[in-house]
Structure 1
């Protein structure tokens, strides 16, 4: 195998790894959200993420080959502090909080399917504020996906004891809106400061915000003992905070370099399918032809949507579209 072919294979492996890591977010979060209240879990998650990204920064900031993309300084301009705080609190904090809340009402399968709508919602915000446009094929892909979400919401779904499915779908929709509305701003900050530095600062802001909320609400931080007493929960928290919120970005950057942003981003279309399969295997959620058909249709629609975005859709300004 030539070095070029090897690089391509490694690039695709990295891209698919990111899709798998992000695709299992709902599955990883489910046991944690059942053990700890959502707001306190948000705080625990981002404290773990801050520790993980701090380690990554310390290992990479002197490496001139990669610190241009990851970041080489923690110095942030005053004019960007509010932007970073908003991306952290809204794009990360509220995203996680609503996501955790939804898992008390719907299964990880349903959660993952709605989270898979992120690219659509991101482009909608781009249309509203960045002069992006969708072509007819993309509109068709979006409408098919939206119909699939509706059919899943009214069809047979995984039952959660004491849960209200409609409330779960509302929470996960708010979660998607939270992260999608900050996607373009997060991308600009990452380009300016580097992906690791930008995300680290966002995680610090949401960790501080989370601590303030936990203390003001009188929540019990000793809940961490629940996690520390269970090796599985410890692993899930570390994976959620450091793996999903940290290492995955470095892996994604590697895939960008090997196969390009477009091809790497297309692999993220697999996320709903990954979440569905893992939820069935790991959590014992129902597997049916009905759900399989819906998830597969959404994956195909996502592929069509993103493929046509790269080939045909161009913004009316000099800005380029940014995937979440």
Structure 2
């Protein structure tokens, strides 16, 4: 294998790795959401994310090549502060809170499938506010996915004790929409300041608001002892805060450089399938033939949707459609 082919191979490995990392978000969050109340967990997550991303920034800012894409300066224009705070509070805080709440009512599989619908929701918001359009093939892919989700909601669903599946679907939909609604704005901020710098400030805004909420709602921060007493929960929190919310951006950037944005973005369509397989393997969720078929069809629909979108969009639009995990 020559150097060029080797780089392409490693680029695909990196792209698929990002899909795996982001695809297991629901699986990673599930044990944590069962051990700590959702509001407090959001605070713990973004404090961890701020620490982790600060360390990542410390090293990447010293590299000229990395800082060009990830950000080399912490200077932010005043006019963008409100935008960053909005992306942080809605696109990160509300996204995580509703996501954690949903996991008390539905399985990680169902959670992952709805979260995987972000590209569709992002385009819908673009159609509403930025004059984006979907072609006939994209509409067909969207309708097919919507029917698949309906079939999953009325079919065999992971049973959660004292859970309400309809409420769970409502929570995860609100979570997905919170992230999708801010996608274009987050894309523009990342392009202007670098992805690590813009995300670091978004995490800081959530953490600062979290401190206010802690005192206002008298949250029990002693719950951190539950996490600290369990090596597994501690590892999951660190991975959630630094791996999913930080390190994955470096891996994705590498994949962009080796195989291009379009091909690397295609790999993200595997996220619902990854979440499903890992949930079955690690959380003991039941593998049902009908659910397997539904998840596979959604992955195919996402692939078709993204394929025909990237043929007609410019780079800024591609950046907005690329899911960014909190």
Q: Under a length normalisation based on structure 2, what TM-score does the superposition of the two structures give? A: 0.97
CA distance in 2, matches of 1:280, 1:62: 41
CA distance in 2, matches of 1:36, 1:215: 17
Cα-to-partner distance string for 1:26-76 (whole Å, 9 max, x where unaligned):
000000000000011001001111111100111111211111101111111
Q: How does 1:109-128 map to 2 (within 5 A)?
A: 109-128=109-128
Please, which runs of 5 or more residues in structure 1 have no aligned partner? Answer: none
Q: How does 1:1-324 map to 2 (within 5 A)?
A: 1-311=1-311, 313-314=312-313, 320-321=317-318, 322-323=320-321, 324=323
Does the C-alpha gap of structure 1 residues 9 and 319 become closer, same or farther in structure 2, counting only changes over 3 Å?
A: closer
CA distance in 2, matches of 1:243, 1:129: 32
- 4+ long deviations beyond 3 Å: 318-321
Cα-to-partner distance string for 1:245-269 (whole Å, 9 max, x where unaligned):
0000111111111110000000000
Q: Under a length normalisation based on structure 1, what TM-score does the superposition of the two structures give? A: 0.97
CA distance in 1, matches of 2:174, 2:316: 27
Does the C-alpha gap of structure 1 residues 319 and 222 become closer, same or farther in structure 2, counting only changes over 3 Å?
A: closer
Cα-to-partner distance string for 1:175-225 (whole Å, 9 max, x where unaligned):
000000000100110111111101000000011112211221111011000
Matched length:
321
Q: Greater CA deviation, 249-258 or 273-282?
A: 249-258
Measured after TM superposition, the shift of residue 9 of structure 1 is 0.7
CA contact (8 A) 1:132 1:314 kept: no
Measured after TM superposition, the shift of residue 314 of structure 1 is 4.2
Measured after TM superposition, the shift of residue 154 of structure 1 is 1.1
Cα-to-partner distance string for 1:208-244 (whole Å, 9 max, x where unaligned):
1122112211110110000000000000000000000
Measured after TM superposition, the shift of residue 270 of structure 1 is 0.3
CA distance in 1, matches of 2:189, 2:208: 20
CA distance in 1, matches of 2:249, 2:317: 20
